[in-house]
Structure formats: structure tokens, C-alpha cells
Amino acid sequence: MRTNYSFSVLRYVYDPVSQEFVNVGVVGYSRDTRQLYARCAQNYGRISKFFGSFDGVRLRQTLRFIQDRLNDIASAMTSELEFRPTRSLGDILNSVLPLDDSSLRFIDAGVGLTDDLTAEVEGLFVRYVERYSGDLGPAKRADEDVWKSFRGCFDRNEITPRLQPKRIVARNYEYDFNHSWKNGIWQLLEPVSFDLQNNQAIAEKANRWVGRAVGLEDSQDEFKLYLLLGKPSDERLTAAYRKAENLLHKMPIRHELIEETEAAEFARELAAKMHSAVS
């Protein structure tokens, strides 16, 4: 018999400021059948390769604790009396990992119908965790390197001194932009390097920015996002980069994509707008 279920993704947030993260687990729950099934990752290669240094031993211990605690709760559910009120998935997860500023957090992911919760969660684990568990390798150029390639044009047009940090706050998400200015609405300049190791890394980074845009969509601040793009130095990744651009155009906010070859023209246009704003 097919029953309703909800599921949550366990996320390791490496940097709370930039919101860089990797999914490390999935939990499924059926209130109707009182079934709970969790699967946490055991492979940390991607985290160490993508983020660099991190406390792998502590993360492994914490994930093992979370897995064991959820298994205990799943076993206890089968012996609960019929009249005991059933709990929501959020209540269960909060009892294991309370909401705070820690690096590990559960994210509401979705609901569905299933006749086999275990198989369903295993499939979700492949989709949300194992799919991205390969070795993506470090970036050839960081976002800061892309900013440097634009900054020369900005400096020549006296733009850089007029830029300031701006935090965009939405209902469930916020993000700090380091380079912005206001002309009626906030103009946000964000360097994004796609000079990465492979197709998968490029696609994932583009998807991450689409997700950020979704999270910021309901902000009370009016803004336009300019992504300053650094293309791959490896020409074999050009097709993946163009697909990433197509993904970025799906961002549900006002936006514009600027490539490094357009930096000089963009800087001149931006300087003209700034001059007009104070005239």
C-alpha cells in the first residue's frame, strides 16, 4: 500500500558566510506507518577535495552519532503505544540535531508517495548525495581571481572605491555580497569562477547559484545581480560552461551575466551610471 512520506537532506555547510555546502545524508519518514529510515554518507573524499581542510574525524563521528540516534528512534517507533501522538519529521530531527549555527543541518526537501520507504530513501541518497560524491578537484581559479581580472577595469574607471558590502536578507535565507552600490535599487557585483576541474563541478556551481537566487527571491530589498563570470581555461569544458550559463539564466531574480571579455565595456557603462546618479 502506498503511503505518504516526507524527507529531509542532511547538509554540511562548510562556510556559513558563503553558504558553501555538500549533502551528506537523507532521512525519510512516514507518519502513517511510523517508519523512519536514515542514510548518512561514509565517503568524505569530495568534502576534502572541494573544500580543502576540514575536521574529517569529527565529522565522521558526528554523522555516526546522527545515524545511530535516528536508528534508535526508528526502532522505538515500532513499540510506541497507539494512543501516543505521532511526531512530525521536523520534531524528530530537531531532537537529534537542534536548529543552531552548527555546520550540520537538516533541510526540508520534499514529500511523496511510496510503498517501500527504505528503497525510496536509498534512491534519494543516490540522487542528492552519491551523485556528487566524485572527486571534483580544486578550482583552477578562485572567485577572488576572477574579481581581480575585473578590478583593473573598475579601478581605471574609479568604480572600486564606490562599492560597498551589502547583505540581502530574505525570509529563509541571506547572503553577503562584498561589492555593491545603490542606484534606486541595489546593484550587486559577484565574481564567479567556472575555471574548474570538470563538467560536474561547473554544473554544480551553477546549480548552487540558482538555489541561492531562489532563496533570495522574496527579499524586501530591490536588487539586480551581476554575475562576473570566469570561463574555463580548458577549452574542452566550454560546452559545460555554456550549459552553466543557461542554468544561471533560470535564476528567478533580476540578473545579468558578464564575461571577462566584456569587463572593459561593462566598467565604462557602470561608471557612466554612477556619474549620472550623482549629477
For position 99, what pLDDT does the model report?
A: 75
Rounded distance between C-alpha atoms, residue 238 and residue 232, angstroms: 7
Determine the residue type at 140. K
- Give backbone dihedrals phi and psi of 66, rounded to 5 degrees, phi first: -60, -45
pTM of the model: 0.56
Q: Average pLDDT, whole number, for the chain?
A: 85
Whether the Cβ atoms of residue 5 and residue 15 lie closer than 8 Å to each other: no
C-alpha cell at 150: 575585473
Q: Judge whether residue 81 has pLDDT over 80.
A: no
Alpha carbon dihedral 14, 20, 24, 26, in 10-degree steps, equals: 130
Q: Judge whether residue 85 has pLDDT over 70.
A: no
Average pLDDT on 191-197 reads 91
For position 135, what pLDDT does the model report?
A: 46
Report the Cα 2 to chain-centroid distance in Å.
32
pLDDT digits (tens, 9 = 90+) for 160-174: 999 999 999 998 888
Helix (H) or strand (E) holding 113: strand 104-114
235, burial (CB in 10 Å: exposed 0-12, middle 13-18, buried 19+)? exposed
Q: Judge whether residue 246 has pLDDT over 50.
A: yes
Average pLDDT on 77-105 reads 76
- Least confident window among 51-60, 141-150, 231-240, 251-260: 51-60
Residue position matching grid coordinates 552600490: 181
Confidence of residue 83 (pLDDT cuts 50, 70, 90): very low
Average pLDDT on 175-202 reads 92
Confidence of residue 115 (pLDDT cuts 50, 70, 90): confident
Confidence of residue 147 (pLDDT cuts 50, 70, 90): very high
For position 10, what pLDDT does the model report?
A: 93
Q: What percent of the chain has pLDDT over 70?
A: 85
Domain architecture of the chain: domains with CATH: 3-132 (no CATH), 143-278 (3.40.1350)
98, burial (CB in 10 Å: exposed 0-12, middle 13-18, buried 19+)? exposed
Q: Comparing 135 with 19, which gets the higher pLDDT? A: 19
For position 136, what pLDDT does the model report?
A: 47
Confidence of residue 248 (pLDDT cuts 50, 70, 90): very high
Q: Judge whether residue 82 has pLDDT over 50.
A: no
Closest CA to 38 of 18, 2, 65, 4: 65
Q: Judge whether residue 45 has pLDDT over 80.
A: no
